[in-house]
C-alpha cells in the first residue's frame, strides 16, 4: 500500500468523495478550519495499484504541559472496514505515523455502526463488532474522551416529499403545518446573518446549559463551509423577527445538522419544526440521500438531558444509529496515563481551588 501526502484541495476532496461513506469532518474545509485553531492538518491518501482505497485527515496538536503532541482522525479513517486486511494496514500506518511524530496517542472515531443499531436504509458501514475486535487486537482501547457523538439519528432522503411527511410522527407533521399557517417563514441566510445566528446560539446555550466557544470560532467554521459551498444557513422568522436558525453541512451524498439555535420568542408557533422541514428539502435539493441529525445519547432514557432533543429528531422520521465511538492507540503508555488521568485531575483540582478562594 502506497501512502501519499495530499496538499491540493481539489485532489483531496475528489479522492475522498470516491471512497465509501465520506464524512464532512474528513473534508479539506474541516482540516483548513481546524488548522487555524491549534491543530495542524496532514492529509494521507492510501493507494493500491494507483487506486485510492482509504484516506485519513490527521490533526496534530501540541500539548501545553508535555513535550509531546496528540493526533486525531475525526470521523475517520475512511476505508472499507469490511476488508479487514486493508483496514489493518491503514491502522498500522497510522500507528507508525504516531510513533514517528512521537505522539502520546492517536485517536480515531471511524463512522461505523453496530448491525443491530443501524437503520436498514443507511449506507453507513455496519461492521462495528469486527472493527472493534480488530482495534482491540492491535492495542487500541475505547476512549474515555468521546469528542464527537457516538450515536446519532439518521433520516432517509431517498424518497418523495410526500413519503418524508408520511414518515414523520403525526404531531411533528401537524406542527410543520401549524408553523406555516401561523406566519412562520424560512429564508436562506448569508454570511451577513452570522452574528445574528451566533446570538441565537448563545441564547440557546444559556437556556439549555451547554458550553460554547467564543464567537470567532463559530464565525470561522461557518464562513469556511459557506465559502466552500458545503453549508446552508436557514433562518425562521415571525413578522421579520428571526426566532430560530440552523446550519447544515453537505458533503457528497450526505448532509449533517450540526448547529441549531432558537429563541424563546414565538416558540408556540413551532418554528423549529418548519425549519427542519425546509432543511430536509434543502438537503434533498443538494442531491443528498442521507440526513444525519447529529447526536444521540448512549442510552435512550427519558432521564437523559438529551431526551427532548432526540424525541424531536425521531419525530422527523429519523431512526437511531449506534456507533463504534472513538478509540485511542497509546504510543507512550506513561504519557497517555499522564494526559488522560493525571493532568485532567490536576486541572480539576486547580479549578476547584480557585472556586473555593473566589
Sequence-distant (≥ 6) Cβ neighbours of residue 264 within 8 angstroms: 203, 207
Per DSSP, the three-state class of 139 is coil
Q: Using 50, 70 and 90 to split pLDDT, how confident is the model at 185?
A: very high
- Distance, in Å, from the CA atom of 245 to the CA atom of 263, rounded to the nearest integer, reads 9
Confidence check: pLDDT of 34 > 70: yes
The pLDDT value given to residue 18: 96
> Which position has the higher pLDDT, 18 or 332?
18
Is domain 154-322 classified as CATH 3.40.630.30?
yes
Q: Does this model's pTM top 0.85?
A: yes
What average pLDDT does this structure show over 60-81? 91
Helix locations, 101-193, DSSP H = 128-137, 161-166, 170-181
The pLDDT value given to residue 300: 72
Q: 77-81, 122-126, 127-131, 269-273: which has the minimum mean pLDDT?
A: 122-126
Please count the CA atoms within 13 angstroms of the CA of 114 that sit on its side-chain side.
15
Cis amide prior to 307 (ω within 30 degrees): no
The pLDDT value given to residue 351: 58
Joined grid coordinates for residue 337? 496515563
Domain ranges of the chain: 2-147+324-357, 154-322
The pLDDT value given to residue 124: 81
Sequence-distant (≥ 6) Cβ neighbours of residue 49 within 8 angstroms: none
Nearest to 263 by CA among 312, 213, 204, 205: 204
Per DSSP, the three-state class of 246 is strand
The pLDDT value given to residue 129: 86
Nearest to 287 by CA among 317, 258, 254: 254
Q: What percent of the chain has pLDDT over 70?
A: 95
Q: Using 50, 70 and 90 to split pLDDT, how confident is the model at 346?
A: low
Confidence check: pLDDT of 331 > 70: yes
The pLDDT value given to residue 209: 86
What average pLDDT does this structure show over 299-312? 84
What average pLDDT does this structure show over 47-64? 94
Separation of first and last alpha carbons in the chain: 57
The pLDDT value given to residue 116: 87
Residue written as cell 476505508? 79
Residues 53, 1 contacting (CB under 8 angstroms) = yes
What average pLDDT does this structure show over 47-66? 92
- Distance, in Å, from the CA atom of 19 to the CA atom of 25, rounded to the nearest integer, reads 14
Residues 46, 90 contacting (CB under 8 angstroms) = yes
Confidence check: pLDDT of 357 > 50: no
Average pLDDT, the chain: 93
Confidence check: pLDDT of 348 > 70: no
Sequence-distant (≥ 6) Cβ neighbours of residue 85 within 8 angstroms: none
The pLDDT value given to residue 352: 63
Nearest to 179 by CA among 244, 231, 233, 232: 244
- Distance, in Å, from the CA atom of 94 to the CA atom of 92, rounded to the nearest integer, reads 5
Sequence-distant (≥ 6) Cβ neighbours of residue 121 within 8 angstroms: 154, 156, 158
**Domain 2-147+324-357 -> CATH class:** alpha beta
Confidence check: pLDDT of 2 > 90: yes
The pLDDT value given to residue 353: 56
- Distance, in Å, from the CA atom of 271 to the CA atom of 293, rounded to the nearest integer, reads 17
What average pLDDT does this structure show over 193-200? 98
The pLDDT value given to residue 343: 64
Domain pair 2-147+324-357 / 154-322, same fold: yes
State the burial class of residue 219 (Cβ atoms within 10 Å of its Cβ: 0-12, 13-18, 19+).
Answer: middle
Joined grid coordinates for residue 244? 430560530
The pLDDT value given to residue 273: 98
The pLDDT value given to residue 269: 96
Q: What percent of the chain has pLDDT over 90?
A: 81
What average pLDDT does this structure show over 150-158? 96
- Distance, in Å, from the CA atom of 263 to the CA atom of 243, rounded to the nearest integer, reads 5
Confidence check: pLDDT of 349 > 50: yes
- In this predicted model, what pLDDT tens digit does every residue of 200-240 receive, in sequence order? 999 999 998 889 999 999 999 999 999 999 999 999 999 99
- In this predicted model, what pLDDT tens digit does every residue of 255-285 receive, in sequence order? 999 999 999 999 999 999 999 999 999 999 9
Amino acid at each position: 500500500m502506497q501512502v501519499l501526502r495530499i496538499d491540493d484541495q481539489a485532489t483531496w476532496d475528489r479522492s475522498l468523495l470516491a471512497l465509501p461513506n465520506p464524512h464532512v469532518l474528513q473534508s479539506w474545509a474541516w482540516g483548513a478550519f481546524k488548522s487555524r485553531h491549534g491543530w495542524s492538518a496532514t492529509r494521507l491518501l492510501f493507494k493500491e495499484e494507483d487506486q485510492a482505497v482509504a484516506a485519513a485527515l490527521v490533526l496534530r496538536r501540541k500539548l501545553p504541559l508535555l513535550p509531546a503532541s496528540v493526533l486525531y482522525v475525526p470521523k475517520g479513517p475512511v476505508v472499507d472496514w469490511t476488508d479487514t486486511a486493508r483496514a489493518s494496514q491503514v491502522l498500522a500506518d497510522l500507528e507508525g505515523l504516531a510513533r514517528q511524530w512521537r505522539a502520546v496517542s492517536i485517536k480515531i472515531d471511524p463512522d461505523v455502526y453496530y448491525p443491530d443499531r443501524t437503520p436498514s436504509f443507511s449506507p453507513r458501514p455496519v461492521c462495528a463488532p469486527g472493527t472493534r475486535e480488530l482495534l482491540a487486537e492491535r492495542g487500541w482501547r475505547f476512549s474515555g474522551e468521546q469528542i464527537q457523538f457516538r450515536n446519532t439519528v439518521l433520516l432517509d432522503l431517498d424518497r418523495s416529499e410526500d413519503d418524508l411527511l408520511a414518515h414523520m410522527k403525526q404531531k411533528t407533521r401537524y406542527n410543520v403545518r401549524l408553523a406555516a399557517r401561523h406566519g412562520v417563514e424560512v429564508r436562506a441566510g448569508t454570511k451577513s446573518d452570522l452574528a445574528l445566528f451566533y446570538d441565537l446560539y448563545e441564547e440557546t446555550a444559556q437556556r439549555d446549559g451547554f458550553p460554547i466557544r467564543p464567537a470567532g470560532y463559530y464565525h470561522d467554521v461557518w464562513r469556511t463551509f459557506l465559502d466552500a459551498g458545503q453549508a446552508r444557513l436557514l433562518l425562521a422568522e415571525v413578522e421579520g423577527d428571526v426566532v430560530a436558525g440552523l446550519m447544515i453541512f453537505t458533503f457528497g451524498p450526505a448532509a449533517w445538522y450540526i448547529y441549531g439555535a432558537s429563541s424563546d420568542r414565538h416558540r408556540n408557533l413551532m418554528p423549529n419544526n418548519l425549519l427542519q422541514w425546509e432543511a430536509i428539502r434543502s438537503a434533498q435539493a443538494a442531491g443528498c440521500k442521507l440526513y444525519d441529525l447529529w447526536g444521540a445519547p448512549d442510552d435512550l432514557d427519558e432521564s437523559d438531558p438529551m431526551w427532548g432533543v432526540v424525541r424531536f429528531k425521531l419525530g422527523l422520521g429519523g431512526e437511531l444509529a449506534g456507533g463504534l465511538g472513538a478509540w485511542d492507540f497509546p504510543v507512550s503508555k506513561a504519557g497517555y496515563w499522564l494526559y488522560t488521568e493525571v493532568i485532567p485531575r490536576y486541572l480539576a483540582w486547580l479549578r476547584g481551588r480557585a472556586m473555593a478562594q473566589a
